[in-house]
Amino acid sequence: MELKQELLVEGNDDLHVVAALCNKHNIKENFRIVDCKGIENLLIGLPVRLKSSVKTIGAVIDADADLNARWNSVCSILSASGRYGDIPDECPAEGLILEPVSEGDPKFGLWIMPDNRTSGMLEHFTTMLIPADDDLLPVVDETLSRLESNGMNRYSTVHHEKARIHTWLAWQESPGTPMGLAITKKYLTSQPSAYGAFTEWLKSLFEDA
């Protein structure tokens, strides 16, 4: 059966993290997760998708260093489409969900990683899933701090969080486990407060459509 609902994501890691969270929380698999292979492809393709027969379109993108720039890039596309009414000045903390003005146009949702409020990316969100009592993360932080203070880090400072979560994953029982599989293996587990808003946004966007 062809699914008439789509969730657009930037890359393969995003796809597997979202899929693992959906499986963990029994979220209905009534939408297709689409790896757009980069934010530029996602944004370029969005206007065309808004004209398609898809019932619901969601997008998960990274804020990166400039949350407002990411928000504005999507809002400009939504405004130009003419398919939605009032668009808020900023992304709601609980994620954006817009109903179309005309019947037959797609419902639209947006989540800006990590939490719609701060700059960052998928890795910031995933780090929030590390158990609060974990004893390895402080050692990871100490190690990275020492590397950076001595100028030994070969990654750019903007990718600190990528180095942080992947170092932590490298020290697990199965070293180098991808983020999505780490959720399945329960390396990454936490209180629902760490991811609850995101999974509730998914449910509201797709299960209520």
Q: Each residue of 114-169: pLDDT tens digit?
A: 999 999 999 999 999 999 899 999 999 999 999 999 999 999 999 999 999 999 99
Is residue 178 assigned to a domain? Answer: yes
**Full residue range of the structural domain in which residue 162 is found:** 131-184
Predicted confidence (pLDDT) per residue in 161-193, tens digit:
999 999 999 999 999 999 999 999 999 986 677
Q: How many structural domains is the chain composed of?
A: 2
101/198 same-domain check: yes
CA atoms of 145 and 141, how far apart (whole Å): 6
Residue 33 has what pLDDT?
A: 97
Taking alpha carbons only, the member of 137, 204, 198, 154 closest to residue 14 is 198
Q: Nearest-CA neighbor of 109 among 195, 9, 26? A: 9
Kindly state whether residues 65 and 100 are assigned to the same domain: yes
Strand pairing class (56-62; 5-9): parallel
Whether residue 112 sits in one domain with residue 95: yes
Q: Tell me the percentage of the chain whose pLDDT exceeds 70.
A: 96
Q: Which is nearest to 46 in space by CA: 57, 30, 35?
A: 57
Crossing angle (nearest 10°) for helices 67-81 and 39-50:
20
Whether residue 4 contacts residue 56, with contact meaning beta carbons closer than 8 Å, is answered with yes
Which residues have C-beta within 8 Å of that of residue 168, sequence separation ≥ 6? 127, 130, 136, 137, 140
Q: Do 127 and 165 meet the contact criterion of CB atoms below 8 Å apart? A: yes
Residue 126 resides in a domain: no
Q: What is the pTM of this model?
A: 0.93
Outline where DSSP puts E strands in 37-173: 56-62, 96-98, 107-113
In order of 8, 37, 86, 147, 205, the CA distances from 78 in angstroms are: 15, 21, 10, 43, 17
Residue 19 resides in a domain: yes
Across 58-71, average pLDDT? 96
> What residues contact 66, with CB distance under 8 A and at least 6 apart?
119
Q: Is the pLDDT at 2 greater than 60, yes or no?
A: no
Q: Are residues 158 and 201 in the same domain?
A: no
Confidence of residue 1 (pLDDT cuts 50, 70, 90): very low
- Residue whose tokens read 């990454």: 188
pLDDT value at residue 24: 87
Does pLDDT of 96 surpass 70? yes
Q: pLDDT higher for 81 or 132?
A: 81
* Residue 18 sits in the same domain as residue 115: yes
Q: Mean of the pLDDT values across residues 44-51?
A: 96
Written as one letter, the residue type at 73 is: S
